[in-house]
A = this chain, B = another copy of it.
Amino acid sequence: MSFVAVPDGSDFPIENLPYGVFSTAGNPTARIGVAIGEKILDLSAVASFYPESVRNALQATVLNDLMSLGCDAWAEVRRTTKELLLEGSALHKDAALQARALVPQSDAKMHLPANIKDYTDFYSSIHHATNVGVMFRGKENALMPNWKHLPVGYHGRASSVVVSGTPIRRPYGQTLPVDGADPAFGPCRLFDFELEMAFFVGGPPTELGERVTVRDAAKRVFGFVLMNDWSARDIQKWEYVPLGPFTAKNLGTSISPWIVPVAALEPFLVDNFPQDPSPFP
Counting chain B CB atoms within 10 Å of each CB, the highest count among A155, A176, A183, A241 belongs to A155
A157 contacts B by Cβ under 8 Å: yes
- Identify whether the interface residues of A are mostly helix, strand, loop, or mixed: loop
Nearest CB of B to A65, in Å:
17
- Per-residue B-contact encoding for A154-182, CB less than 8 Å = 1, 0 else: 11111110100011110110101000001
Interface window among A22-30, A144-152, A256-264: A144-152
B154 with A243: CB separation less than 8 A: yes
Copy number of this protein in the oligomer?
A: 2
Interface size of A in residues (CB-CB distance below 8 Å): 49
> With A155-B155, A174-B150 given, is the CB distance from A208 to B245 under 8 Å?
no
- How many angstroms from the CA of A51 to the CA of B66 in the assembled complex? 40
Chain A residues in contact with chain B, CB under 8 A? 117-118, 120, 123, 133, 136-137, 144-146, 149-150, 152-160, 162, 166-169, 171-172, 174, 176, 182-183, 185, 208-209, 211, 238-246, 251-252, 277, 280
